[in-house]
Amino acid sequence: MTETDQKPITGGEFIIRDTEPSEVFIPENWTEEHQMIAQMCDDFINTEIIPNIERIDQMEDGLMPSIMEKAGALGLLSMSVPEELGGMGVDFKTSLLATEHLGAGYSFSVAFGAHTGIGTLPLLYYGNEDQKKKYIPKLASGEWKAAYCLTEPGAGSDANSGKTKAVLSEDGKNYSVNGQKMWITNGGFANLFTVFAKIDDDEKLTAFLIEADSEGISLNPEEKKMGIKGSSTRQVFFNNVKVPVENMLSDRENGFKIALNILNIGRIKLAAGVMGASKQAITGSVNYANEREQFGRVISKYGAIRYKLAEQAIQTFAVESATYRAGQNIDDAIAGYIADGMDKGTATLKGIELFAPECAILKVAGSEGLDYTIDEAVQIFGGMGYSAESHVERGYRDARINRIFEGTNEINRLLTVDMVLRRAMKGELDLMGPAMKVANELMSIPDFGEKPTGTLANEVALLQGFKKTILMIAGSAVQKLMQSLSKEQEILMNIADISIWTYLAESTLLRVQQMIEMKGEENCSAQIAIVKTYFFDAADKINKAGKDALNSFTEGDELKMMMMGLKRFTKTEAFNPKEARQLIASKMIEANEYCF
């Protein structure tokens, strides 16, 4: 083992480094304590949310805040809060588990996510001791609810262009805040706002903690939305709002950094939450397919329906594998920073920031995976899926926001590539060395040396090809386009998509390899089918995205050479996807639920 192999993996390094199955956490290794937390969350959804879902969507006055208080009493709002501040102090992947199981709560999951994530965490990780002691116990218990005020009418994806201003009073005791914020989740009942504003003519934002009953704060009526109708979404206006200087959060002009780091957390938490919604949609699909009869048979017996059920499961299983892999990587990084003497709050932020590329990948993959799953759920339900009487109709409308939340999927794709390339430029990640090796390989006689063996040997080999594809295209694009690459969004999106499919493919492969070691091949037949089908499809998608990218910036002999390499890197062996999907679907049909 080399010195490099012994170091913990860092964000984006999956492109250039092999990972052993034993290095990743898989959901099959949840402990009994973890399962109790998951069950508590499931019970809460089934007793407090599902029976009241119509009342929640009608925004019955006081209902959502009262549900939040019940969640607080159970400790669901304080998972990430240290015990000394009234919380449970669980590790990061456990907080992801709770988020997943509460993700089946429709609008409640949005209120929960906003309160526990972007509402509480800026204060938890950037607040001073006095601020934390004053507010965190109230937020942890649910006595107070939190909201996050970043977006403005003219500042969405470009958050730092916000116009909200803060001016220090002559006596130096207060800031006067003026401005407008929009799309504020929990805005209608929040007690505490984290507000981003620019002091005087500063270039960067500063964050402030502003109590909602402060004089000068007013709210627009609730927004009328496509989905998540039970989630309070309001515009918030600040008119000469006095904010004590001690309520500045962190340092002056540190607000933009706070926003970026909290969004990293929000992205991976969103991936966990949509996973819960996706599993719920699959189970609903299986239940309905097992009950609905057409032409004298239940529709779960038909191949067209089985294809849909299997593909729902494949996409969800892949997102789950990658999410908990990244969650454990983050936990390991946090532990490493703490061992080096860093306090837990700072270590947590650093650990999550380290895996910011993976957080962006998971946000895209999770939200788009749910969109596929819930869309097919509506299709399986047929006319009933279009009826407001069915839960899948609500799920369909609620799902759409996730591709916009926490930075649009387009922004997250661009960020994925940008963050990895920036780390390479800083010397934190050696991309050019491996990229040059791939370039040299293209110009030499292919080495068809010793091939991997075993059930998933083809997938192990394909994974190397997927990674070489990223290195070939990204390396060539950097060399050829240089500074103009940042403007070539179509090419960057191609590279991002290839990276997303590669990360999910590897995560799924590692999970099932570990499962085979634990349980034996004969007990993992459906999971093996999931891996093989995912890789078989990913190879074609990567090939297409690769061709689109290469044809966009290369030509002549260079293009021909790289096209040959691309074909070699994504070449698949004969495989029967129908048989594999039949096996996957049959397992769920027999169990009458998502069972992976």
- The continuous run of DSSP H or E covering 147 comes out as strand 146-149
Q: Find the catalytic residue in 13, 406, 459, 506.
A: 406
CB 285 within 8 A of CB 380: yes
Pairing of strands 192-199, 165-168: parallel
User: Cα separations (Å) of 582 from 295, 521, 588, 592?
Assistant: 20, 18, 10, 15
Same domain, 470 and 527: yes
Same domain, 443 and 492: yes
Same domain, 443 and 571: yes
Instruction: Give the separation between CA 328 and CA 334, rounded to whole angstroms.
Output: 10
- The continuous run of DSSP H or E covering 206 comes out as strand 206-211
Domain limit, last residue, from 114, 145, 176: 145
Does residue 494 lie within any of the structural domains?
yes
CATH of the domain at 524: 1.20.140.10
Pairing of strands 297-298, 174-185: unpaired
Instruction: Give the separation between CA 328 and CA 326, rounded to whole angstroms.
Output: 5
Instruction: Give the separation between CA 463 and CA 466, rounded to whole angstroms.
Output: 5
CB-count exposure of residue 455 (10 Å: 0-12, 13-18, 19+):
middle
Same domain, 436 and 581: yes
HSE (CB half, 13 Å, CA atoms) of 169?
A: 13
Please give the torsion angle defined by the CA atoms of residues 224, 225, 231 and 237, in that order, rounded to the nearest 10 degrees. -60
Neighbours of 40 (CB within 10 A): 15
Same domain, 266 and 405: yes
Does residue 521 lie within any of the structural domains?
yes
What single-letter amino acid sits at 65? P
Pairing of strands 174-185, 165-168: antiparallel
Same domain, 57 and 206: no
Identify the three-state secondary structure at position 448. Answer: coil
Q: Domain range for residue 223?
A: 148-252
pTM of the model: 0.95
Instruction: Give the separation between CA 181 and CA 336, rounded to whole angstroms.
Output: 38
Residue 363 CA to chain centroid, in angstroms?
3
- The continuous run of DSSP H or E covering 241 comes out as strand 233-244
Does residue 489 lie within any of the structural domains?
yes
Same domain, 138 and 43: yes
Domain limit, last residue, from 411, 439, 466: 411
Does residue 112 lie within any of the structural domains?
yes
Identify the three-state secondary structure at position 91. Answer: coil
Instruction: Give the separation between CA 123 and CA 135, rounded to whole angstroms.
Output: 8
Dihedral sign computed on CA atoms, order 8, 14, 17, 19: positive
For the chain, state the CA radius of gyration: 25
Neighbours of 244 (CB within 10 A): 14
Those residues whose C-beta lies under 8 Å from the C-beta of residue 88, and which sit 6 or more positions away, are 75, 78, 79, 81
Same domain, 449 and 567: yes
CATH of the domain at 208: 2.40.110.10
Same domain, 268 and 395: yes
Same domain, 160 and 233: yes
Those residues whose C-beta lies under 8 Å from the C-beta of residue 427, and which sit 6 or more positions away, are none
Domain limit, last residue, from 91, 112, 145: 145
Instruction: Give the separation between CA 49 and CA 310, rounded to whole angstroms.
Output: 28
The DSSP secondary structure of 429-440, one letter per residue, reads S--HHHHHHHHH
Instruction: Give the separation between CA 64 and CA 107, rounded to whole angstroms.
Output: 9
User: Cα separations (Å) of 342 from 250, 329, 339?
Assistant: 17, 17, 7
Q: What share of the chain is helix, strand, coil (3-state, %, to 5)?
A: 65, 10, 25
Q: Is 406 a catalytic residue?
A: yes
HSE (CB half, 13 Å, CA atoms) of 85?
A: 28
**Which ranges of the chain have pLDDT less than 70?**
1-6, 446-449
Which residue carries 């965190």 as its tokens?
A: 136
Identify the three-state secondary structure at position 477. Answer: helix
Does residue 216 lie within any of the structural domains?
yes
pLDDT for 482: 87
CATH of the domain at 111: 1.10.540.10
Same domain, 154 and 140: no
Instruction: Give the separation between CA 67 and CA 61, rounded to whole angstroms.
Output: 12
Instruction: Give the separation between CA 46 and CA 560, rounded to whole angstroms.
Output: 57
Q: For the chain, how many structural domains are there in total?
A: 4
Does residue 513 lie within any of the structural domains?
yes
pLDDT for 1: 36
Instruction: Give the separation between CA 557 and CA 568, rounded to whole angstroms.
Output: 17
What is the phi/psi pair of residue 165, to 5°? -115, 150
User: What are 248's strand-pairing partners?
Assistant: 208
pLDDT for 6: 60
Does residue 596 lie within any of the structural domains?
no
Same domain, 406 and 260: yes
Instruction: Give the separation between CA 460 and CA 462, rounded to whole angstroms.
Output: 6
The DSSP secondary structure of 552-585, one letter per residue, reads HH--HHHHHHHHHHHHHHT------HHHHHHHHH
Beta strands per DSSP E along 422-489: none
Does residue 85 lie within any of the structural domains?
yes
Instruction: Give the separation between CA 193 and CA 207, rounded to whole angstroms.
Output: 10
